[in-house]
A and B are shown apart, each in its own frame.
Chain A
Amino acid sequence: MLDAFALLGDGIWQATAPELLAATLIGVVIGLIVGALPGLGPTAGVAIMLPVAVGFGGTAAIAALAGIYYGAMFGGAVTSILLGIPGDAPSVMTVIDGHALAKQGQAGRALGMSVYASFLGGVIGLVLLVALAAPVARAALAFGPTEMTALMCFALSFVTVLGGRNLMKGFTALFIGVWLGMIGLDPIVGPARYTFGFIELFQGVDFPIVAVGLFGLSEMFLSLSRRVGALAERPSLRSLLPNLPDLIKSWWVLLWSSVVGFFVGVLPGLGGTAATMLTYAMAKKSSRNPSEFGTGAIQGVAAPEAANNSASYGSMIPLFTLGIPGSATTAVLFGGLLMIGLQPGPRLFVDNADFVWTIFGTFWIGNLMLVVLTALLIPFLARIVFVSTAVLYPIVFALVIFGVYSINYSMGDVTIALIAGVVGYIMLKLDYAPVPLVLGLVLGPLVERGMRRTLILSEGDLSVFTERPIALTFLLMTVAVIVVPLIVTRMRPVGPPSI
């Protein structure tokens, strides 16, 4: 392991070559932009820049492309916090408390936490990447469809925590989300489901597009029924600056959210968004003040932001150690490796060790660049919440439509976002929490596919879930999440449930 850090030291030194520094800077700046633009996420960003970046040649190309990926994790939080619109899928959970804080005039504090969390998540993810890449990659392979399904059941069980005040409404929203996730061609046997004959729906509804409508547009629609105006208070310098004590208060959440995010990120097919949902729910569950979540809990920003950053590094592990792209974004990076003439696969680490360690070096430098860039921008960005919504919303609305359209150049996507906006508006009016819906939309398809793959492999035998130790562990944890609070409430009828 010490060897690994010596190699990394060398890699960081290599990564300070001017050409690599420039490439990394380009990557992270573009990442910030695509992350912040609603709708466009890291996958689109990396794909769009691939042909240009390949022109940089070799290591610089991959440094720039990877920079876009983890840069987007920083950028997504900005839009989520300031405007309540998820900049990309992995920052959806950041909207909930981040935007609530911004509406209370504490945008600087929330942005500050997102920067700390992103940076720490990045550093922890990078340390784990360097120290554990090979063993973690092998361990991840133990996760077959059975284990993935059990893990996703565990994540879904947290809907009991995130469902809002009314359990019935929470589950209703969850099932709407699961249903939305089923729209499109059946992933296992093929026929179209709930597409009503629209070819546009064959590929299913895109999660980032629904999230943009559900969280962002809905709030703008709601503002139409209110008096327009800006926040009453004037921006005090304090409200524009990050708050250091928050960091100390949240260190525990930051630490394990980063670790959990990293390991979920490593697993092929799951991805950063699922990681943010898991860590957000765990942060709420373990909080002394769970009712604060949803109304502006600083840990509600810390957990998902730490998780999505470390997950982005975690997802590089299968790519660099095994040549397995486990997510849409790393699949594009895989193409990038091929285009610059490298052979992604188990021997990349051995045959091109220099390249791999230099790339890991650029990750460290890129992470530093991002923290400096975003920290400098916070006082300026935080002012946005003090702009009158009469001025701000029309501009943002246009940006949202532009962002959604540019993902696939499709007016169908714009329509879906608008419909999601209306649905979100109705949910707000009727006091349905939108979080269970996105939970269902992201995790539902993962559970369904995992379950059906498992059952094909086991020829319909459900006992595989109890025979495999990893799957069994997660299922027992799922049961615990649901049952323990019930028992605790029974025994102690007064007071909030806790574990």
Chain B
Amino acid sequence: MGRMITHRLLSPVSAMAAVALVALGLGVQGCSGSGEESASSFDASSYPDRDITMVVPFGAGGGSDILSRTIASVIQELDLVPVEIVIENRTGGSGAIGYDYVAKQAGNPYMLASLSVSFFTTPLLGASPVNYADFTPIAAIAMSPYIMAVRAGSPIQSIDDIKAATRLTTGTTGVASDAALLANMLQNQSGVTIDAVPFDGEGEIMAGMLGGHLDFIFGNPVEILPNIQAGTLRAIAVSTGERLQTLPDVPTLKELGFDIEHAQVRGVLMPLGMPPEVVAYWEDILRQVAMSDAWQRAYLDRFKEEPRFAEAEEFAQIIEGTDALYSDILTELGLIQQ
């Protein structure tokens, strides 16, 4: 289902009719009204005067989807925009289909999308017709750190045990992921051979970790922290520049002497050809979202992510830097021919 409004609380009974309609209309693509818009005829005083579409290039329930829906619901809750924000899931091709759709809407100021790891890796692997240069970065709004953890019963107690090892294994979702990137940096800087085994999903990696089939894991707090609280995993280090509020006793990789600082930055993009007023408009809205209690409560607390706001200019640099990191590791793995 293409079109879905996020923020209304429906009682099951009253939703019955809606659900029946949804079921009948399965597959009927969201016929959002937003057509082509030329930037030249842009009138800032009346913007925005119709509903905004926020495209999620992945299925419902994933990280990118939850991020977009939470941004939309906080905006509506704080009443920051006079129109509705409609979430549209356009899935397929590891994000290629959704991002391509957004990029093709150059000049349409009613079209938003969110950043993801596939936003970088899919084009680099040659599997997408568009890449980061086809988008206008708007703002970064949060960041998800990576926690390096081992099983509770693991002989590895600290980073010294990691450095002393000759070979270690870890997991990655697919060939190119943040976990693979971090493992690669750690390998290059520590001299320890680290084999990152590609799995099909985070769940499989966690199962391999808890079952003792892998030595350590680089994971997002939302999956690692519950295991640390339950005593099934132990944290060794975090990938951010500073320690995490949730794990004040766990050192950063930087403190431990590695030149590694990498987190998954969450942010919002628009197609190319945006008038400066539009960029400023959304920058300001997203700043208000990022600073709000509602955002802290509905997103950061719930998904254990860190606050991180960056304006369009800084965000553009982050995107370029991240793309370069991925480009390097994919070249090193032989997946990009130069």
Contacts and interface: CB of A to CB of B under 8 A. Distances in A.
A206 B18 CA distance: 30
Contacts of A402: 27
Contacts of A322: 206-207, 210
Contact of A268 (B18, B27, B203, B226): B203
A269 B27 CA distance: 27
B199 A453 contact: yes
Interface stretch (B56-64, B105-113, B237-245, B277-285): B56-64
Given A34-B26, A410-B92, A51 B204 contact: no
B127 A199 contact: yes
B261 interface: no
Contacts of A495: none
Interface stretch (A154-162, A210-218, A220-228, A343-351): A343-351
A64 B4 CA distance: 17
A191 interface: yes
A409 B167 CA distance: 44
A458 to B, nearest CB: 10
A355 interface: no
B60 A47 contact: yes
B125 interface: yes
A409 B59 contact: no
Given A22-B16, A335-B62, A187 B198 contact: yes
Given A47-B61, A332-B61, A55 B203 contact: no
Interface in B286-324: 302-303
A184 to B, nearest CB: 10
Given A335-B66, A344-B226, 15 more contacts: A23-B12, A47-B61, A51-B87, A56-B15, A140-B211, A185-B125, A187-B200, A190-B330, A190-B335, A199-B93, A269-B204, A322-B206, A322-B210, A326-B203, A457-B214
Contact of A339 (B61, B97, B201): B61
A324 B206 contact: yes
Given A199-B127, A202-B93, A323 B29 contact: no
Interface in A437-484: 449, 453, 456-457, 459
Nearest to A43: B59
Given A324-B206, A406-B27, A453-B199, A143 B12 contact: no
Contacts of A346: 226-227, 230, 232
Interface in A200-247: 200, 202-203
| Nearest 7 interchain pairs by C-beta | A406-B27, A345-B226, A335-B61, A141-B211, A144-B213, A346-B230, A332-B61
Contact of A323 (B127, B129, B227): B227
A408 B60 contact: no
A143 B211 contact: yes
A190 B336 CA distance: 10
A481 B27 CA distance: 44
A48 interface: yes
Given A187-B200, A199-B127, A409 B90 contact: yes
Interface string B96-139: 11000000000000000000000000000111110000000000
A442 to B, nearest CB: 14
Nearest to A269: B204
Interface stretch (B31-39, B157-165, B168-176, B252-260): B168-176
A174 B334 CA distance: 32
A255 B151 CA distance: 37
B16 to A, nearest CB: 6
A341 B201 CA distance: 22
Interface in B196-222: 197-204, 206-208, 210-214, 222
A396 to B, nearest CB: 16
Contacts of B225: 345
Nearest to A339: B66
A340 to B, nearest CB: 10
A26 interface: yes
Contact of A331 (B69, B203, B211, B335): B203
Given A324-B203, A332-B59, A456-B195, A49 B230 contact: no
Given A145-B197, A188-B198, A199-B129, A26 B204 contact: no
Contacts of B62: 331-332, 335
B4 A51 contact: yes
Interface residues of A, number: 78
Contacts of A408: 91-92, 97
Contact of B61 (A189, A200, A331): A331
Contact of A48 (B9, B12, B26, B94): B26
Contacts of B214: 457
Contacts of A49: 19, 22
B26 A199 contact: no
A11 interface: no
A341 B333 CA distance: 39
Nearest to B24: A33
A457 B169 contact: yes
B9 A30 contact: no
A168 interface: no
Interface residues of B, number: 77
B229 to A, nearest CB: 6
A408 B15 CA distance: 25
A191 B13 contact: no
B203 A56 contact: no
A112 interface: no
Contact of B197 (A23, A186, A325, A457): A457
A30 B96 contact: no
Contacts of A171: none
A87 interface: no
Contacts of A327: 203
A139 to B, nearest CB: 10
A19 interface: yes
A33 B22 CA distance: 11
A55 B211 contact: no
Given A52-B19, A56-B10, A199-B129, A453 B60 contact: no
A190 B87 contact: no
A95 B313 CA distance: 57
Contacts of A187: 174-175, 198, 200
16 contacts: A46-B61, A48-B22, A55-B10, A55-B15, A144-B211, A187-B175, A190-B334, A268-B207, A323-B226, A324-B207, A332-B59, A332-B62, A347-B226, A403-B27, A406-B27, A459-B167
Contact of B12 (A19, A140, A449): A19
Interface string A51-65: 110011100100010
Contacts of B2: 409
A402 B26 CA distance: 9
A338 interface: yes
Interface in A168-206: 185-192, 199-200, 202-203
B93 A335 contact: no
A145 B213 contact: yes
Nearest to B10: A55
Nearest to B7: A55
Contacts of B80: none
